Amino acid sequence: MEHVEADILILGSGGAGLFAAHHAADLDPTLKIIVAAKGLIGKSGCTRMVQGGYNVVLHPDDSLEKHFKDTIKGGGGINNQEMAWALVSDAPKRIRELETKMGVFFDRNEDGTIHQKPFAGQSFDRTVHRGDLTGIEIISRMRDQLFAKPNVITWDEVRAIDLLIDEDRQRVAGCLMLNMRTGQFIVVHCKAVIVGTGGAATMYKIATPSLEKAGDGMAMCYRAGTEFMDMEMMQFHPTGLLAENSRLNGGVLEEGLRGAGGFLINSLGERFMKNYDPERMERSTRDRVSRAAYMEIMEGRGTRLGGVYIDVSHLGKENVLRMFPGMVERCRDVGRDLSVEPVEISPAAHFQMGGVRVSVNCESNIEGLFVAGEDAAGVHGANRLGGNGVCDSTVFGARAGDAVVSYIQNKSDLANVSDTQVHSMMNDILEPFKREEGENPFYIRNDLKNLMWEKVGLVRNQKDLQFAEIQLQLLEERINKVSVKGSQKYNLTWQEYMNVRNLVTIAKMVTKSALMRTESRGSHYREDYPESNDEKWLSNIYVTKTDDDEPRYWTENVKQTHTNVSEIEGYKVLATSK
């Protein structure tokens, strides 16, 4: 077991983690900062997979107020309004920083201004982009610039196991980590931790995130005692590519396809969105389009692979090849030509609006623990607008980096790490090696994905959710019987055990919160409560782990600090209250 000391430990190397590292390192170049990734720094995570772009107010005819109201309206009114305002007001600064400091190249208009394209749910075309592979451009540039900072140490393929809390459980003290290549444990002693590892959408059968995503950061934060909110809010992307028996199954076809005028068609050749949102059609919000596609499939109007079609061929082959080269290439990988024919797609689990409850500066309820990006809740409410994701990562990554430096300026020493705590965590995670026979974690993962897709998916009801609660408890019991053989070095079965252990922890919170919210709002749709109920449910659901290791749930009304949601034009379209 290795012991390492640092000032700041950053878990995750997506937009949130890298932006936090840049800001912290620039504010104080004397700090020792470790950035650790479960995959490869700058080559893994979901920000790199962003295709569509980044929402930001740049045009004189646009405004922060418009972007803010679009975000609140899209979120069903339960957003943390202070965080939503921070998102829209900081975004122009982050775009300038990406261009001038990181060297990011965004597409330009003929007059030299940044090109902005239409995205669903927005009152103005404000999405900046680099073709249809924006995330690769952003992360690659940020990664390259990070290597120029001598006080930042990067760790590839080192996963976090659990957060270490000091004896009084009042302050984060570090993290128990695992070098996946060597199988060696590392105890990181630090003054502060920033968590930005991403969500747990991979608990579903059809999902868009990178394969290493398993809700690790969220699960660690839960076990450490943080407060969570909005865990029932799981976004399904409307256009996940269907690729039979392939790892490409669920890969996103970007929202710009619909924004540019793409059609969604069922197996009868009908543009079905006319029956669900005739005003906005395919440019409706993700929750509505996903649910509409799901209903078409469930009512027997789906394709051979159990999906629907997206068709952009009417835009012209040359235009499609010019505007969406990355999407054309992705479809070619599964034998389809997006430029000339319809392509089969399905809703796919994509993004968690819920997560750790944090302040506008990413502070959790545990001192020294900051959470940013998809691990944190509040900014998106019940549904995230396309293009607000990478905006969220960079805006709040930067805020976390700034806030953590201010915090540790008053901390001259490291918090105490208990040897007992460390050894208890190690023994717990090594338990599967002690069993000669037992469960296979890959089978458990498969059962989890099917259960969540069928019972806690796009359309929910009390009976299914109660069944899922029972089954998740049984899955947790099976996880405690997993057997792992072989060495600790790059042991994929052991890694999968840790993955599914964390996923089930998150799945239980998602399911219970979905059962509690007896209405439909944003991405959460209850067929037994199909209407939204502002009188009762303009509120957030919270959960935390108690001292006896049991979850405690409660609700709090939304604080409408910036605007009254009922005064936002079009809000009631998303939340019709009886």
**Confidence band of 575 (pLDDT split at 50, 70, 90):** very low
**pLDDT at 574 (0 to 100):** 45
Residues 6+ apart with CB under 8 A from 437: 483
Average pLDDT on 331-358 reads: 92
C-alpha atoms less than 13 angstroms from C-alpha of 226 in its C-beta half-sphere:
32
Task: Identify the CA nearest to 415 among candidates 185, 193, 222.
Answer: 193
Residue pair 173/165 in contact by the 8 Å Cβ criterion: yes
Phi, psi for residue 552 in degrees, rounded to 5:
-120, 125
Task: Identify the CA nearest to 83 among candidates 299, 345, 372.
Answer: 372
The Cα 356–Cα 278 span in angstroms is 36
Active site amino acids: 237, 258
**pLDDT at 572 (0 to 100):** 67
Structure tokens at 393: 């990562």
Is 556 or 387 the better-scoring residue by pLDDT? 556
Q: Would you report the helix, strand and coil content of the chain in percent, each value rounded to 5?
A: 40, 20, 40
Dihedral, CA atoms, 132, 137, 138, 144, nearest 10 degrees?
A: 170
Q: Which residue(s) pair with 555 in the sheet?
A: 541
Task: Identify the CA nearest to 145 among candidates 25, 320, 286.
Answer: 25
pLDDT of 120 above 80: no
The Cα 68–Cα 119 span in angstroms is 15
Phi, psi for residue 261 in degrees, rounded to 5:
115, 15
Task: Identify the CA nearest to 452 among candidates 197, 198, 206, 245.
Answer: 206
Which domains, from first to last, does the chain contain?
Answer: 2-233+353-408 (3.50.50.60), 238-348 (3.90.700.10), 419-538 (1.20.58.100)
**pLDDT at 407 (0 to 100):** 95
Structure tokens at 573: 């379209």
Question: What 3-state class would DSSP assign to 396?
Answer: helix
**pLDDT at 546 (0 to 100):** 92
The Cα 256–Cα 236 span in angstroms is 16
User: In this predicted structure, which of 56-60, 336-340, 398-402, 412-416 has the lowest mean pLDDT?
Assistant: 412-416
pLDDT of 573 above 60: no
- The 10s digit of each residue's pLDDT in 404-450 is 999 999 887 888 888 999 999 999 999 999 999 999 999 999 999 99
**pLDDT at 410 (0 to 100):** 82
Q: What is the DSSP string of 411-475?
A: --SPPP--HHHHHHHHHHHHGGGG-SS-B-HHHHHHHHHHHHHHHSSSSB-HHHHHHHHHHHHHH
Structure tokens at 157: 């393929």
pTM to 2 decimal places:
0.92
**pLDDT at 414 (0 to 100):** 87
**pLDDT at 298 (0 to 100):** 86
Q: Which residue(s) pair with 184 in the sheet?
A: 179
Task: Identify the CA nearest to 198 among candidates 13, 19, 323.
Answer: 13
The Cα 347–Cα 339 span in angstroms is 21
Q: In what order do the strands lie in the sheet with 234-241?
A: 234-241, 343-352, 308-311, 263-265
Block residue for tokens 């805006």: 395
**pLDDT at 576 (0 to 100):** 39
**Confidence band of 80 (pLDDT split at 50, 70, 90):** very high
- The 10s digit of each residue's pLDDT in 270-301 is 999 999 989 889 888 778 898 899 989 989 99
Structure tokens at 366: 């545990």
**Confidence band of 169 (pLDDT split at 50, 70, 90):** low
**Confidence band of 503 (pLDDT split at 50, 70, 90):** very high
Phi, psi for residue 172 in degrees, rounded to 5:
-70, 140
Phi, psi for residue 230 in degrees, rounded to 5:
60, 30
Task: Identify the CA nearest to 290 among candidates 345, 210, 352.
Answer: 345
Burial 488-521 (b: 16+ CB within 10 A, else e): beebeebbbbbbbbbbbbbbbbbbbbbbbbebbb
Is 309 or 569 the better-scoring residue by pLDDT? 309
Maximum average pLDDT range among 111-115, 228-232, 321-325: 228-232
Average pLDDT, the chain: 92
- The 10s digit of each residue's pLDDT in 13-67 is 888 999 999 999 999 999 999 999 999 888 887 776 776 789 999 999 999 999 9
Structure tokens at 276: 């669900």
pLDDT of 117 above 70: yes
Helix or strand run (H / E) with residue 561 = none
Phi, psi for residue 439 in degrees, rounded to 5:
-75, 155
Task: Identify the CA nearest to 492 among candidates 263, 159, 47.
Answer: 159
User: In this predicted structure, which of 157-161, 245-249, 388-392, 398-402 has the lowest mean pLDDT?
Assistant: 245-249
Neighbours of 575 (CB within 10 A): 23
Strand-pair category, 369-371 with 192-195: parallel
